[in-house]
Amino acid sequence: MTTITLAEVAKRAGVSTATVSMVLRNRGRISQVTRERVLKALDESGYVYNQTAANLRNRSSNQVGLLLHDITNPFYGEMTAGLSHEMERHELLLFLANSEESCERQQKFVDSLMRNNACGMVLCAARETPRAFFEALKRRNIPAIMVVRPPDDPGFDFVGTNNFLGTQMATAHLLQLGHRNIAFIGGSLRSGTRSQRIGGFTSKLLEHGIAPKAEWLVTAEASQSDGSRVAEVLLNRYPQITAAVCYQDIVALGVMQALRKMGREPGRDFALVGFDDISEAALVQPALTTVSVAAKEIGRKAGELLFSRIQGNDEPPKSIILPPALVVRTSCGFR
Amino acid sequence: MTTITLAEVAKRAGVSTATVSMVLRNRGRISQVTRERVLKALDESGYVYNQTAANLRNRSSNQVGLLLHDITNPFYGEMTAGLSHEMERHELLLFLANSEESCERQQKFVDSLMRNNACGMVLCAARETPRAFFEALKRRNIPAIMVVRPPDDPGFDFVGTNNFLGTQMATAHLLQLGHRNIAFIGGSLRSGTRSQRIGGFTSKLLEHGIAPKAEWLVTAEASQSDGSRVAEVLLNRYPQITAAVCYQDIVALGVMQALRKMGREPGRDFALVGFDDISEAALVQPALTTVSVAAKEIGRKAGELLFSRIQGNDEPPKSIILPPALVVRTSCGFR
DNA sequence: TTGTACGCGTTATCAT
DNA sequence: ATGATAACGCGTACAA
């Protein structure tokens, strides 16, 4: 298949390539007559615009990257949908990559984006990403928006949830139901997100005159099984605990398992709040009360911000922190 | 930021651009001495390869498109992960778009891919895609692999599941457990996939001398909420139904909700089989027995096939139909 | 409106 | 046996 070029269309229309180019992009002043002749020629020839050539000439592109660490996680699926929608509005193409928490793959993707002259990117960086990665990224001087996982480096735009407020709401809910012995279960020590959530938790306790106990703040991997394991140890040692705020819904599901194993029924003998509002939360018995973060909205907002940066917005880096919402179901009892 | 070009690296190394290009891509004959001088210059200059220029020159690219109709669906999340992984192996970048079942957006995406000179694509076409879309696509002469939803047109490569066999297995499982009043819940009337699954379901019933009842075959949207809604209506009207094969796991999860609302416990008072084996299936209580179609594997196989097409494989179009597997968990009772 | 230099890497052809 | 020269891919934008 021979590709038809601008030049060929121009010859067919009996004009110059400059004219055709202008008609194509509605620039400059072209007379109605010529315009129509060109449009006709374009139509007849089956011309396909060569974005690559244009990009080369313009030292630009219409392509942005999205890097996630787990595209399989429904939360990121939602987020991707939000971002994708926003990109489409601006005629931008979206490159997707899944780092699977590998810093190496992550770096490769970013390098690839640079080679391909991408005009921006949205990143949810792998957990152990070295500082050097961010430093290098800043030197590249390409718009980059961080999402969900707040970067240590304040030099980047960020869109995420108000983790602090989220656990404050969760904790307030438990306090209001009369609980005083409340644990915090889950998350990794090195996680910044966890720090924020812990902050909301302890600050709310203190507001109510309760001193948080360090022994009741335990970490867990992001899995049901580890949530269960950890909860069992904790609750066996401290049976006086009657409620918990969990770092994630999956962990909360694990805690439920542990409770049952120990003969305590979640929602009746123990109150449980999760975080994320994954779809399972609504399905389990008792349905999990949880903090909902609007994943789609994070994607949309990240897209909006990225687009403005691409357009040249050079305000200082900003953080867009979306407000969470407490979804009250039945895992804290009925009322 | 000034972009460093091949020419500048060449000057720095005291050689021609041709030499640098050859070193970069390990082509041609370059002496060890020169090669090292060039590598040094490359390193010192902080050169970034301009893929766009190379693509323009080569009339090719390293970019493929993935079009889905619902990236939010965990099934497609898995599939995307599989494809993404495969693309990465071959140093291909993946463009993602979400048609949300809109033929217009779908067409726009494909046009965009053509303009950007993509070298191939993987499509799960929107439901009401007109024939003209496929015709046009074939004329484009660009490698395109259809996935999951079998196209009417046999002129395309296809990777998907044996839906017929899948529901046969699911149905046989329920029959073996003694169920006789079995419903089929979910899917859209216009879906070819659904026809195949219904086919497996009814054929297996008939094998066992059971006449399928049309009233027990109900449609539902691909969401928990609609699954729940539909199941409630069905089971209220026909309380004698004791089991169901669901079109999708998400629908099955909805059915679970409905059952509980009606005071029936899934896995004890009602047996449920899903389809897809999304990750939630293993997590809910009771864990969902389901037909696994190895979503990731579909993505991988599609990627493999696409790559071979890009490499010039011009065998006639083929269909890769992956065998499903029944994953028995506890939603049909314990045994 | 047009002519044309330009963006930057690639590769066939030529030179040593 | 090595490496240089230069035409080329195709759309863009400025000077004329």
pLDDT in tens, A193-229: 999 999 999 999 999 999 999 999 999 998 888 999 9
Q: How far apart are CA A321 and CA A323, in angstroms?
A: 6
| Mean pLDDT of the A168-184 span | 97
When CB atoms are compared, the residue of B52, B72, B285 closest to A81 is B72
Q: Give residues with Cβ within 8 angstroms of B293, minimum separation 6.
A: B161, B166, B275, B276, B277, B322, B324
Which range among A129-138, A276-285, B102-111 shows the weakest confidence by mean pLDDT?
A: A276-285
Confidence at residue A129, expressed as pLDDT on a 0 to 100 scale: 94
Q: What is the mean pLDDT of residues A107-121?
A: 97
Q: Which residue bears the tokens 């998400």?
A: B250
Give me the pLDDT at residue B278, please: 85
Mean pLDDT of B85-93: 97
The pLDDT of residue B335:
45
Q: Provide the edge-to-edge strand list for the sheet that holds A120-123.
A: A319-322, A157-161, A144-147, A120-123, A63-68, A93-98, B93-98, B63-68, B120-123, B144-147, B157-161, B319-322
Using a CB-CB cut-off of 8 Å, the residues of chain A touching B303 are none
> What is the arithmetic mean of pLDDT over A36-47?
95
**Is B115's CB less than 7 Å from nucleic acid strand D?**
no
Q: Count the residues in chain A.
A: 335
Q: Which of B52, B94, B285 sits opposite A285 (nearest CB)?
A: B285
Under an 8 A CB cutoff, do B98 and A105 touch? no
Q: Cα-Cα-Cα-Cα dihedral of B246, B251, B256, B258, to 10°? A: -110
* Banded model confidence at residue B1, pLDDT cuts 50, 70, 90: low
Q: Which nucleotides of D are covered by protein (CB under 7 A)?
A: 1-6, 8-14
Inspect the interface and report whether the beta carbons of B73 and A77 lie closer than 8 Å: yes
Closest CA to B204 of B160, B243, B164, B238: B164
Q: Which of B51, B112, B257 sits opposite A116 (nearest CB)?
A: B51
Q: Quote the pLDDT of residue A26.
A: 93
- Give residues 271 to 290 of B whose Cβ lies within 8 Å of A: 279-280, 283-285
Confidence band, pLDDT 50/70/90 cuts, at residue B320: very high
What's the pLDDT tens digit per position in B256-282? 999 998 999 999 999 999 999 987 788
Instruction: Name the residue among A52, A72, A114 with its Cβ closest to that of B279.
Output: A72
Indicate yes or no: strand C within 7 A of the C-beta of A13. no
pLDDT band at A335 (very low <50, low <70, confident <90, very high): very low
User: Is the pLDDT reported for residue B304 higher than 60?
Assistant: yes
B52 shares contact with chain A (CB less than 8 Å): yes
Query: Average per-residue pLDDT in chain A?
Result: 94
Q: Contacts of residue B117 in chain A, CB cutoff 8 Å?
A: 50-52
Q: Do B56 and A52 touch (CB under 8 A)?
A: yes
Nearest-CA residue to the C1' of C11?
B18
Indicate yes or no: CB of B283 within 8 angstroms of CB of A282: no
State mean pLDDT over A278-297. Answer: 87
Q: How far apart are CA A103 and CA A145, in angstroms?
A: 17
Cα of A217 to nearest chain B Cα, Å: 25
How high is the mean pLDDT of chain B? Answer: 95
> What pLDDT does A334 receive?
64
Using the C1' atom of nucleotide D11, identify the protein residue whose alpha carbon is closest.
Answer: A54
Q: Are B281 and B287 in contact (CB under 8 A)?
A: yes
B218 strand-pairing partners: B185
Tell whether A206 lies on the interface with B, counting CB pairs under 8 A: no
- Cα separation, A81 vs A123, in Å, equals 15
How much is the pLDDT for B55?
A: 97
Residue B126 tokens, joined: 């929107």
Nucleotide nearest to A20 (CA to C1'): D11
Q: Which protein residue's Cα is closest to nucleotide D1 at C1'?
A: B29
Q: Does pLDDT of A285 surpass 90?
A: no
Mean pLDDT over A263-268 rounds to: 94
